[in-house]
Amino acid sequence: MYILIVTDSFTVSKNSVEQLFGSRLRVKILRLLFRNEIDFFDLDQLSERVQESKDAVKKELAELMAMGLVRSKKHF
C-alpha cells in the first residue's frame, strides 16, 4: 500500500538542501538510511518508509549507487 501525499503544504515546500541534492526524494532516502545506519532495506521497505512509488525510489537508488554512496546486495 502506497500513499502519495502531494498536496500537503509541508510536502511541496522547497528548501536549499533538497535543491543541493537534486530532489526531495533523494533527501528522504538518505535521511532514512543515515538515521538507520545499521539497517538494510529492500525496495518495498524503502518505498513504504519514504511514502513514494517504487519506480521513483528505484531511479534514485540507481543514481546513488552510481555515485558510490549506496550499495546493494542480494539477500538470500
CA distance 58 to 55: 5
Element (H, E) at 56: helix 54-66
Burial of 32 (0-12, 13-18, 19+ CB in 10 A): middle
Q: Is 39 in the site for another protein (CB under 8 A)?
A: yes
From the CB of 42, what's the least distance to another protein, in Å? 4
Q: How many Cβ atoms from other residues are within 10 Å of residue 21's Cβ?
A: 15
Q: Is 32 in the site for another protein (CB under 8 A)?
A: yes
Q: Is 66 in the site for another protein (CB under 8 A)?
A: no
Q: Is 45 in the site for another protein (CB under 8 A)?
A: yes
Q: Which residues bind another protein (CB under 8 A)?
A: 3, 5, 8-11, 13-17, 21, 24, 27-28, 30-37, 39-46, 48-52, 61, 68-76
